Structure 1
Amino acid sequence: MHTRVLTNGKSLRRILSILITALSWPSTALGVPDILEDPLGAQPGRLHTGSALPDGSLIACPATIDLSEPLEPGSAIDVALCNNPQISSSWAGIKIQAGALGEARAAYLPTMRVSVSRLSNRTGNSSLSGGSDPIRTGIQVYGTMNWRLLDFGERSANNKAASLLLAAALAAHDASLQKIMSGVIQAYYDSMTAQSHLIACKKMAEIAERILAATKRREAHGAVALSDTLPALTALAKARLNEARAQGDFNKSLSMLVQSMGLAPGTALRLPQNLELYRADDVTELNLWLREAEDKHPSIRQARAKLAADQAKITVVRSEGLPSLDATAYISRNGYPNQGLSNNSQSVTTAGVSLNLPIFEGFGRTYKIRGAIAQVEQSQVHLQETTNQILTEVVKAHADALTSLGSLKASEQLMAAATQGLQSSMRRYDRRAADILEVLNSQSSLADAEQERIRAIAEWHSARLRLLANSGVLGMADLVQEGK
Structure 2
Amino acid sequence: MRRTILWLVISAPMCRAPMAAQLAAAPAAPTPQISSFTVQAQAAAQGSTSSAAPQLPAAGLPQRLTLQDAEAQALRNNPQISVARLLLLASGQVTREQRSAYFPNVTASLTAVDAQQGSRLAAGALNNPALLTRAAGGMAISQLITDFGRTANLVAAAALRARAADMNAAATSAQIRLAVEEAFFGALQSRAEQMVAEQTVKARQLVSDQITTLFQNKLRSELDVSFANANLAQARLLLLDAQNNYQAALSRLSEVMGSVGQQPIDPVEPQAEPNAPPSSTAELEQQAFHNRPEIAAQSYEYQAERRFQNAERDLLLPTISALGVAGQAAAGSSLNAVPQFPTWYGAAGVNLNLPVFNGFQNVARWREAGFRAQAANEQLRDVKDRIANEVRTSWLNAVTAYNRIAVSRQFLEQSNLALNLSQARYDLGLSSIVELSQAQLQQTQAQIQFAAATYQYRIAEAVLRFQAAAP
Where does residue 198 of structure 2 map in the other structure? 202
Q: Determine whether 1:393 maps to 2:390.
A: yes
Q: Determine whether 1:271 maps to 2:251.
A: no
Where does residue 456 of structure 2 map in the other structure? 459
Looking at structure 2, the residues matched to 466 and 241 of structure 1 have their Cα atoms a distance apart, in angstroms, of: 32
Q: CA RMSD in A?
A: 3.7
Where does residue 90 of structure 1 map in the other structure? 84
Could you report, residue by residue, the CA deviation over 1:21-59 in whole angstroms, capped at 9, with x for unpaired residues? Answer: xxxxxxxxxxxxxxxxxxxxxxxxxxxxxxxxxxxxxxx
Q: Structure 1's 97 and 272: CA in aligned 2 closer, same or farther, altered over 3 A?
A: closer
Could you report, residue by residue, the CA deviation over 1:187-237 in whole angstroms, capped at 9, with x for unpaired residues? Answer: 443333222222111111111123334445555666655555444333222
For residue 151 of structure 1, the aligned residue among 147, 153, 161 is 147
Looking at structure 1, the residues matched to 376 and 246 of structure 2 have their Cα atoms a distance apart, in angstroms, of: 43
Once the two structures are superposed, the pairs formed by residues 15-164 of structure 1 within 5 Å of their partners are 68-115=62-109, 140-164=136-160
Which has the greater radius of gyration?
Answer: 2
Where does residue 358 of structure 2 map in the other structure? 361
Looking at structure 1, the residues matched to 61 and 367 of structure 2 have their Cα atoms a distance apart, in angstroms, of: 57
Where does residue 378 of structure 2 map in the other structure? 381
In the TM superposition, residue 467 of structure 1 has moved relative to its aligned partner by 1.6
Looking at structure 2, the residues matched to 356 and 335 of structure 1 have their Cα atoms a distance apart, in angstroms, of: 34
Aligned positions, number? 394
Looking at structure 2, the residues matched to 340 and 258 of structure 1 have their Cα atoms a distance apart, in angstroms, of: 75
Where does residue 170 of structure 2 map in the other structure? 174
* Counterpart residue identity of residue 164, structure 2: A
* Counterpart residue identity of residue 466, structure 2: A
Where does residue 125 of structure 2 map in the other structure? none
Tell which deviates more after alignment, 379-388 or 161-170. 379-388
In the TM superposition, residue 285 of structure 1 has moved relative to its aligned partner by 2.6
Q: Determine whether 1:444 maps to 2:444.
A: no
- 3-state DSSP class of the match of 2:64? coil
Unaligned 5+ segments in structure 2 are 1-59, 119-132
Unaligned 5+ segments in structure 1 are 1-65, 126-136, 475-484
Looking at structure 1, the residues matched to 430 and 282 of structure 2 have their Cα atoms a distance apart, in angstroms, of: 57
In the TM superposition, residue 276 of structure 1 has moved relative to its aligned partner by 9.2
In the TM superposition, residue 450 of structure 1 has moved relative to its aligned partner by 1.0
Q: Structure 1's 123 and 439: CA in aligned 2 closer, same or farther, altered over 3 A?
A: closer
Looking at structure 1, the residues matched to 212 and 106 of structure 2 have their Cα atoms a distance apart, in angstroms, of: 99
- 3-state DSSP class of the match of 1:334? strand
Tell which deviates more after alignment, 189-198 or 303-312. 189-198
Looking at structure 2, the residues matched to 154 and 270 of structure 1 have their Cα atoms a distance apart, in angstroms, of: 56
Q: Determine whether 1:411 maps to 2:441.
A: no
For residue 307 of structure 2, the aligned residue among 305, 308, 312 is 312
Q: Structure 1's 273 and 215: CA in aligned 2 closer, same or farther, altered over 3 A?
A: farther
Maintained 8 Å contact 1:278/1:457: no
Q: Determine whether 1:289 maps to 2:284.
A: yes
Looking at structure 2, the residues matched to 258 and 80 of structure 1 have their Cα atoms a distance apart, in angstroms, of: 9
Looking at structure 2, the residues matched to 467 and 262 of structure 1 have their Cα atoms a distance apart, in angstroms, of: 24
Maintained 8 Å contact 1:310/1:372: yes
Maintained 8 Å contact 1:109/1:147: yes
Maintained 8 Å contact 1:110/1:147: yes
Maintained 8 Å contact 1:280/1:405: no
Tell which deviates more after alignment, 370-379 or 355-364. 355-364
In the TM superposition, residue 416 of structure 1 has moved relative to its aligned partner by 4.0
Looking at structure 2, the residues matched to 241 and 288 of structure 1 have their Cα atoms a distance apart, in angstroms, of: 47
* Counterpart residue identity of residue 291, structure 2: K
Maintained 8 Å contact 2:66/2:270: no
Looking at structure 2, the residues matched to 123 and 313 of structure 1 have their Cα atoms a distance apart, in angstroms, of: 52
Looking at structure 2, the residues matched to 415 and 294 of structure 1 have their Cα atoms a distance apart, in angstroms, of: 41
Q: Determine whether 1:330 maps to 2:325.
A: yes
In the TM superposition, residue 366 of structure 1 has moved relative to its aligned partner by 1.2
Q: Structure 1's 275 and 155: CA in aligned 2 closer, same or farther, altered over 3 A?
A: closer
Looking at structure 2, the residues matched to 67 and 227 of structure 1 have their Cα atoms a distance apart, in angstroms, of: 45
What TM-score do the two structures reach when normalised by structure 1? 0.70
In the TM superposition, residue 240 of structure 1 has moved relative to its aligned partner by 1.9
